[in-house]
Structure 1
Amino acid sequence: MNGQLIGMLVLSLTWAGAATVWGEDAKSDEPVLSGPKADRDQGRRRSADGGKGFGGRHRGERPGDRILAALNTIGATDEQKQKVREILAEQVAKHKKFKADNAEALKAIREKMAAAKRDDDKEAMKAAREELLALRKAAGLPAGEQRKKAKQFRKDNADKIKAIHKKIVAAKRSGDTDAEAAARQELRDLWKTSGIDGGDVMQQIRAVLTPEQIKVLSQMRLDRMSERAAKRRANRGHRDGERGKLREGRRDRAGEGKEEGEPSQSD
């Protein structure tokens, strides 16, 4: 019994310590790395910011973690990192003010979203999201404009983008680095005509970086996109292969595809 009490005390002190590290108390809006509060915060962030937040954070990530990690990769100076931290801190303050000023409205929207999800009502969910975006736009926060622009641009230039991707894949297969670099530059030039600038926050961050650093970041993003596309293709091929095996198994059991006189498994 004493052992159980000691265990419970240690556990409660652990959670208290986690709350002290990342927030002032159990009701703090600051994120924690793991545990029940992290799960609750993550759910609240998803509904309060339309599902993306700062670039769609995973559990335990704080605002700007990915950007700061990227700055380390490109060798940004301490001064540049500090300026970026200040820009991100300003955004966090804006979001906190937004949540405080619109607490009742956000609560109502969350309830509408929950009801729409429960009833599987896509139209109601869409209307609730639009209401949330309108609220964010009125507060001067990102409201999905960049995503809408990007979606429309991809739709309008689908053939061009597909042709450039084919060039990149062909160049990678043949090991022609010059052709690959030229194709990637062509893709960058095409996206420059889209009018998508990443929003005010990204513009502020870009102003802190050098042109060469921005180029490296763009290349990193393209590489990530290529890796994701390659994984999708690989997974698709694997699934097709599995289906092929199943088809062969069915034919074999039915006695198809066998030489005359050779018994099937069903015989």
Structure 2
Amino acid sequence: MQGIYLHIPFCRQACRYCDFFFSVSLRYVDDYVENLIREIELIAGQRRRTEVETLYLGGGTPSVLSDQHLEKIVEAVHKHYTFREGAEWTIECNPDDLSPVYLKQLRNKGFNRISIGIQSFHEKDLELMRRSHTSIQAEQSVRDAAAGGFENITMDLIYGIPGQSLREWEDNIEKALALPVSHISAYHLTFEPGTVFDHWRKKGRLLPVHEEESVSQFRLLRERLPDRGFDHYEISNFALQGNMSAHNLLYWSGKSYTGFGPSAHSYDGT
């Protein structure tokens, strides 16, 4: 097995576009962590012990976990799995969770790659999507992560947001490039069934952007990032040399990985 994925299905609030498996009932986090550890122990006993190349905490919002929660999870993972030297450890975080103290705790736990869910640097976009952070927190979180010792920082951006002009999208790209990031993931907004945005679409309250707008924004993305040294190595991902997501590449190259937690899946490589 080359990769481990841990799903942390908790968020402080629900974004209007998200259809991932999550809960805003944070009172269940303690119980969840204990049961996640039990699953790690159970599955580890069924697998041949091999060196692991990547660990990825996704969600949800893994940064809702306390230092104590992370300590328990990391201890369980180390107890049952062996990691190769220099293994990539990624954790997804929201900007408003990333205090200097928390960032230091993440580094002390062994995380060497941080994925920050910024989505946009414009307040109106953040409010429309019901993100929990502000544009100021978005920029500061990246600077704090770099100051805290993270050299491999990736951020998520969303384009195709209703009401977002091409100039505003260009501004998002330029602000991202001005920050110390080595990887950028840019996703087109979709109206997934069961989400608030999908409900609003059916009511005529909010409509997806026209295809021409989507194409223009994607073309701008394809032009600007490679010009600044970012290799477009996946449809939604761009990386500076040496900073492609090892965990993502593991998926595409058909290597084995094990997923823990609700909605996580596994692949044995065959």
Higher fraction of strand: 2
Taking structure 1 as the reference length, the TM-score comes to 0.24
Tell which structure's C-alpha radius of gyration is larger.
Answer: 1
Taking structure 2 as the reference length, the TM-score comes to 0.24
Looking at both structures, which has the greater relative contact order when contacts are Cα pairs under 8 Å and sequence separation is at least 6? Answer: 2
Higher fraction of helix: 1
